[in-house]
Structure 1
Amino acid sequence: MAVGNIYVIAAIAVIGGGLFGFDISSMSAIINTDAYLCYFQQGPLKPDENGVLTCSGPTADVQGGITAAMPGGSWLGALVSGFLSDIFGRKTSIQIGSVIWCIGSIIICASQNIPMLIVGRVINGFSVGICSAQVPVYISELAPPTKRGRLVGLQQWAITWGIMIMFYISYGTSYIDGTAAFRIPWGLQMIPAILLFFGMMILPESPRWLARKDRWEECMSVLTLVHGKGDPTAPFVIREYEEIKNMCEFERNNADVSYLELIKPNMINRTHVGVFTQIWSQLTGMNVMMYYITYVFAMAGLEGNNLLVSSSIQYVINVVMTVPAIIWVDRWGRRPTLLLGAAGMLAFLFANGGLMASYGHPAPPGGLDGIEQQSWIVRGPPSKAVIACTYLFVAVYAISWGPVSWVYPPELFPLRVRGKANALCTSSNWAFNFALAYFVPPAFVNIQWKVYIIFGVFCTAMFIHVFFMFPETAGKTLEDVEGIFTNPMGIKYVGTPAWETKNERGRAAMLERTGYDGDEEKRAEAVEEAAPKNTRAL
């Protein structure tokens, strides 16, 4: 018997997000440890500030390549996930991703050299690409409109938990001598994937995917289980079933299903919005904080145990500050959350750039402690301000772009292309994740503090873009969202400018309670449908 509680369903599914988080901090917590630096040392040892020969690990370019291997594989995995999801279903495609993750983790754990490490990270990335693309689709197709943002936002929360847990595991194992310091955390990465694989077995399939496959009885059973508490005559169940049925009929009569459809005139606008949601989430500069935070804090004067502990604080902030977004994002709406997030992040990025430019100076040739990526030095009160602005930046991202970048794209697309469309959007995320993971270490070497200015400019651009082009989708059923871009069933939103679209949470709440949206005729129908249940209750 499948689980019908939507919160339990989401809690299990978003373990797929935890895989991404585990991978991020399994690298960020390790790249500054002696065990990692010495095992993957390239070239001769380099002297630190005191002239002592130390391991400096891979070069900046190679370290960028190691880090970027995961998002590179994720880009391909996200694209492939669209086909897997449409053929095998949302649920099965997520399970496939969890198996691939275990294979990649075994290779990473056993890595004997840099090429083997890169291959393992590419395979892990392929898994993350599948799960990160299809988990939001799966949850959005099961969730009611008033809770959809909260539930899909759990994906980001799972990512933050994965980052924090793996960072502290890696921090603890850093005290172990030898390669076990990094092999243990890399091996433990398999645990959430195993939990995800077996957990998905007790969850239902997406009712909208079942409808696309003409499995209508199963579709109705899932809707009854999740939304009707076992009552197939519940008004909201009936209304959801009819909307799904009408949309499927419309789509079959009017369109084919391929990636090419996403660039056709009637689809290109929402495709560009979904793709740029994911691109902008990467261009915020959050990857600088996640992957390379130890470099930033080392340049601000932290070292040894203080460096790792201070770096870990941002992961705690990330977890805690994601919670308000999960609770209230459906009430706040997507647009205000994205706009305020962009404004807050650009302020702290420009502040950090200004502080480092005004109060810092270049590090000695070869970088601090012989690590060339640590190319700038800022000390005293300005260094504390840099750390504070970094924490505040993470807090703003966690409450805004972090969760909404996963919530928003799946809501934009019609059922027939939702799997492929979200795969394309997520692949854009990973393409830019790859580019930035590779770009940042050499950027710290070559342009130093100007890295912050570049990301501040990106945040300014995304604020303008969101204001003029991103419509509000909160409070609407997935079928209603279609009416923002087309007019398949006489829905009223089409043609409304993005900045005039509104959050319709109140209307959505009424739909969930009564199965109608204010129209008296629909109300009468809803009451009649619910009558047998009410009679039984009496």
Structure 2
Amino acid sequence: MENIENKPDNNQVEYSATTPAQGGDVAGPPTGNGGKLNSFVFALAAFAALGNVLYGYNQGVMAVILDMPQFLDQFPQIDASKSSGAGFLKGLMTAIVEFGAMFGSLSCGYLADRYSRKRTIFFGSIGFMIGLVLQIASQDYAMLVIGRFLSGWGIGVFSMVAPLYVSELAPTRWRGALLAMAGWSILVGTSISFWISYGTRFINSSWCFRLPFAIQLIPAIGLAAGTFLLPYSPRWLAAQDRHGEGLTVLCRLRGCSVDHPDAATMAEWTEILIAVQLDRCALTETHGNVTPGSLKWEFLRWRDLFSTRAMLRRFVVACGLFWFQQLGGIDALLYYGPSFFESLSYGATEQLNWSGIINCMNLAGGTTTMFTTDRFGRKKLLIAGAIIITSCHAVLAGLIGAYSSDWANHQGAAKAGVAMLVIFMFFQGATFGPTPAVVCNEIFPYRHRARGVAFGIANEWLANFTVGLIAPPLLDASAWGTFVFFGGCTFLSLFFVIFIVPETKGVLLETMDVIFNDRVADEDAKMRAAITSELQAEPPIQEIK
């Protein structure tokens, strides 16, 4: 193996980490400017994102189904003309998916580290399909809610593990784009489900809503079967001491020969080994000899998530972005779009047509993130999004407050409101849609990544559940007040992004700690130097015979 130290590459293993005790500043983290995106990596990322398509599909499918007469006849509890508590029960039935997803994402911290990322995707597929069968066959409200909860568990697994898996396969230069594609696939699923349910509403039986549920079985079965063909994450293999397999997979991902890996690939592999070994040493020093995989081990690893100020800052960043994403009102408008257009005095067909249009605009905006996330950086997109989205909410609140009592004589104002909603959906998809998930999957160190991402995604689902539950009564009480609330939350997010969220564009996952001032102490620097010397003295390439 070539001597990595002498390569003038931003992916090289060592980096300066002077400490305050040394009187220096913390050096910036190495940035990965190398790494080609080959067709194999792209295909893996696209396949893993299929789970997010199912996630988006399940979100969007209810927008049309909620207003189907056959659905309301089957479940009269959510029909306002038949039940006094219809608003709450509708919100609960819609949002219970998010509640199940919260538990699904939390369970992934353990599952993804113990059984691997790809096997956890398989577990999620099975749970999703069990819940889906219950929804298809549901005869009463309770059965439907239980089925949606179980499907939600599977969706929570997809939403956490798919981007985690992609982040560990992607070259640094393309990581943001591929993670954005995972987020974009949610929007694809949302749009597909809307138009499928739009078409099935003409079926004059309960299959008008059961068929959109059943269609999801096809990709779910394909996802479960396909996981047997996926490679393990190189980082997970390194953590299992399966170094030969890990290097083989990484070489294939980077498109180089296993027998003669290029210097950049070897530098990346060495950095992975250093990060895994450093985390392992830190765990041993903190807790002593605890059996890996035991309940005590699991408890201690969860406790360590909140052990330092730097880790708490990571959680503030990840959870804060997800809460601001949901408090911006995106899912409320996706779920209850037809109800909003009904308030503008639009007919039933126009309500659905415009709901479909705003879904497509959200998808169009999300498509741009695959090209803008790595070019402009995460922070700039979020700042631009906060400004534009706040402005749209402010205009919408003003128009609804001034003209909602007489839209018929103020059609210009109604059209302006629709235009603001279209602009909001595009820029939400282009900024706050996929970007929080990108940041969340980047900022946690390997030892805490699975659980950190799980906790962050769980907060996304908790926020989603909360907004889905409160949106119907909010809209019923005051439509303009609802947009004031959403706009106020988005305005606060502007300051959160400016002062709290760091820029992670181009930073290697293994060196993200430098941004959060995690490893600048002399002890950690010495530990890292010792591990680096040991690994370079015995090159990893020798493990493949």
Fold conserved (TM > 0.5)? yes
**Aligned position for 2:218:** 191
**Aligned position for 2:513:** 482
Name the CA distance, whole Å, in 2 between partners of 1:456 and 1:436: 14
2:159 alignment partner AA:
S
**Aligned position for 2:456:** 425
Instruction: Find the residue that maps to 2:498 and give its secondary structure.
Output: helix
1:12 alignment partner AA:
F
**Aligned position for 2:73:** 38
Contact 2:342–2:348 (8 Å) recurs in 1: no
What is the Cα deviation at residue 377 of structure 1? 8.8
2:287 is aligned with 1:287: no
What is the Cα deviation at residue 28 of structure 1? 0.8
Instruction: Find the residue that maps to 2:405 and give its secondary structure.
Output: strand
What is the Cα deviation at residue 41 of structure 1? 1.8
Indicate how the Cα distance of structure 1 residues 131 and 475 shifts in structure 2: closer, same or farther if over 3 A, else same.
same
Contact 1:360–1:378 (8 Å) recurs in 2: no
Name the CA distance, whole Å, in 2 between partners of 1:23 and 1:8: 23
CA deviation digits over 1:119-140, x for unaligned, max 9? 0110011001111011111110
Contact 2:197–2:209 (8 Å) recurs in 1: yes
2:339 alignment partner AA:
Y
For 1:166-315, list aligned pairs within 5 A.
166-231=193-258, 232-255=260-283, 258-265=301-308, 266-315=310-359
Name the CA distance, whole Å, in 1 between partners of 2:339 and 2:67: 8
Contact 2:379–2:503 (8 Å) recurs in 1: yes
Name the CA distance, whole Å, in 2 between partners of 1:446 and 1:25: 24
TM-score, normalised to structure 1, is: 0.84
**Aligned position for 2:297:** none
Contact 2:79–2:86 (8 Å) recurs in 1: no
Q: Which of 366, 370, 382 is equivalent to 1:338?
A: 382
CA deviation digits over 1:4-59, x for unaligned, max 9? 7111010000011011111111111111122222222249984xxxxxxxx78971
Q: Which of 397, 406, 421 is equivalent to 1:390?
A: 421
What is the Cα deviation at residue 109 of structure 1? 0.8
1:172 alignment partner AA:
G
What is the Cα deviation at residue 487 of structure 1? 5.2
2:505 alignment partner AA:
A
Runs of at least 5 residues in structure 1 that lack an aligned partner in the other structure: 47-54, 363-375, 495-524, 531-538
1:353 alignment partner AA:
A
Instruction: Find the residue that maps to 1:402 and give its secondary structure.
Output: coil
1:279 alignment partner AA:
W
Percent of residue pairs identical: 30
Contact 1:301–1:379 (8 Å) recurs in 2: no
Name the CA distance, whole Å, in 1 between partners of 2:302 and 2:492: 28
For 1:508-523, list aligned pairs within 5 A.
none
Contact 1:144–1:477 (8 Å) recurs in 2: no
For 1:81-92, list aligned pairs within 5 A.
81-92=108-119
Contact 2:378–2:435 (8 Å) recurs in 1: yes
Indicate how the Cα distance of structure 1 residues 425 and 261 shifts in structure 2: closer, same or farther if over 3 A, else same.
same
Does 312-321 or 328-337 show the bigger shift?
Answer: 312-321
Indicate how the Cα distance of structure 1 residues 378 and 71 shifts in structure 2: closer, same or farther if over 3 A, else same.
farther
Instruction: Find the residue that maps to 1:263 and give its secondary structure.
Output: coil
Q: Which of 151, 154, 164 is equivalent to 1:124?
A: 151
What is the Cα deviation at residue 448 of structure 1? 2.9
2:500 is aligned with 1:466: no
May I ask how many residue pairs the two structures share in their alignment?
473
**Aligned position for 1:512:** none
1:109 alignment partner AA:
I
Name the CA distance, whole Å, in 1 between partners of 2:150 and 2:388: 35
Indicate how the Cα distance of structure 1 residues 407 and 377 shifts in structure 2: closer, same or farther if over 3 A, else same.
farther
**Aligned position for 2:468:** 437
2:372 is aligned with 1:328: yes
Contact 1:299–1:377 (8 Å) recurs in 2: no
**Aligned position for 1:59:** 86
What is the Cα deviation at residue 466 of structure 1? 0.8
